[in-house]
Structure 1
């Protein structure tokens, strides 16, 4: 049987002086491994993995169902609620946006998540799926749901590949939330990888918006009060952000983004 870690996992407790925790949501591969590589950022740091990682990572209700479930997990992990920051690498940014929207609705109407206040979001090279038709293209085939026996026999890297395929499938039918009736998108900082993984867009969907400073978010941001407050370049390409040589850079910029969104008060 698998020895599962707590989800979300508390990576760092942070200083004695209370700061809003940063909760980083998994990428398309489903793990929160890369967030454990970050150095301390001066506040509590949590990493949230795909709760169905070992089953293949598929959710029938897609991104909205995932977001709803994850808010429930946060409510159990942080029972007192309070101010939080959301964020994540790649798919993690999209999930943060959906979670923030559902928390905002809960604060207005009641329900799970109402005890949280999302002070801001940190997207780590998260591409807006509306930017390119390819991001919305349906992948061929049906979801792969792993049985307990299949999951036990499969290596983690192969599960990550299955999760990645399912993530792209779910993004293809996800509708970005519309913030209406007085709801406001939390201020957001986008950390953008400097380098291309592959300049041929037919080979790398992560670079479809690489030439665009906003990675496709400009129109959506303008429609919702220009919530995207800053674009910050980080070292590496989409898949090398958390390589050893880039860890100091991404840690420093994640920390600076969190501090700008949640400054230390006196």
Structure 2
């Protein structure tokens, strides 16, 4: 894996306007192998792996330092203009850290039109939470992947999600198109696709606009979330593992804490650690494409 980011898919479109490129950030295991399994996402897809993976060296500045390094990686391969950004699990948090750094940059070479969050629950520093149940058994995984997971625990112990001056899209409603159906999404609702059901809008915790917030205050880019519906196996009668603390909640607790951030959520019939398994990757590809189509179609009203 010499190239970083690596272009793992090229757009199939030759004579028409290309879909917005997608950059995916590695999960807690540090590699991009799960993304390589995906079928076509109908656009250029780049993936960033952890350059410290082979040494297991920690970033002294944690996820915020990683975000700065990865911004340079993206610029260095010549990615310019509007992109979609996201990732699985830890990749979702690093993506938000990248978005925050870009929001404060002067004339950035690229901008983030939307985010694809793949089963990343709202992050609360682990030091502020009561102990969770044990993680699933990772003994079958390569040693370097297990070391990478251990590093994640270090990063996430005290790290806080970026603070934004305002809500996503300044709290304005947005419009999305799914399979030729047009949906208007007010600030207090989201699009949701439950297992085996059709798209609908549901009410979420309402964000009351603070009159003291300047009109053009920056918020995070709008996001679509892929949400795994099943808890990870970690033994009977035990507390849920850390990644499943909010598994029962439709937005994995993002609503209310990150105003207007999630615009749509797609439920998937698997566990957090099973979403890219060979038996599920075809379905995962379909669901990611649906999420990307929503992000491509989003318009602020």
TM-score (norm 1): 0.82
What is the distance in 2 between the residues matched to 1:101 and 1:6? 25
Instruction: Choose which of 239, 245, 249 in structure 2 pairs with 1:208.
Output: 245
Shift in CA distance, 57/215, structure 1 to aligned 2, threshold 3 Å: farther
In the alignment of these two chains, the number of paired residues is: 236
1:188 aligns with 2:223: yes
Deviation (angstroms), 1:103: 1.2
Contact 1:198 1:207 (C-alpha < 8 Å) held by counterparts: no
What is the distance in 2 between the residues matched to 1:248 and 1:194? 17
1:229 aligns with 2:228: no
1:162 aligns with 2:162: no
What is the distance in 2 between the residues matched to 1:101 and 1:117? 11
Contact 2:9 2:46 (C-alpha < 8 Å) held by counterparts: yes
1:30 aligns with 2:24: no
Deviation (angstroms), 1:219: 2.4
Matches within 5 A, 1:88-237: 88-106=87-105, 109-110=106-107, 114-130=108-124, 157-180=142-165, 182-198=217-233, 202=239, 204-222=241-259, 226-237=260-271
Higher share of residues assigned helix: 1
What is the distance in 2 between the residues matched to 1:123 and 1:12? 19
Matched with 1:143 is none
Deviation (angstroms), 1:175: 1.6
What is the distance in 1 between the residues matched to 2:145 and 2:238? 22
When the two chains are superposed, the root-mean-square deviation of aligned CA atoms in Å is 2.4
Matched with 2:7 is 10
Higher share of residues assigned strand: 2
Highest Rg: 1 or 2?
A: 2
Deviation (angstroms), 1:231: 1.3
Unaligned stretches of 5+ in structure 2? 132-139, 166-213
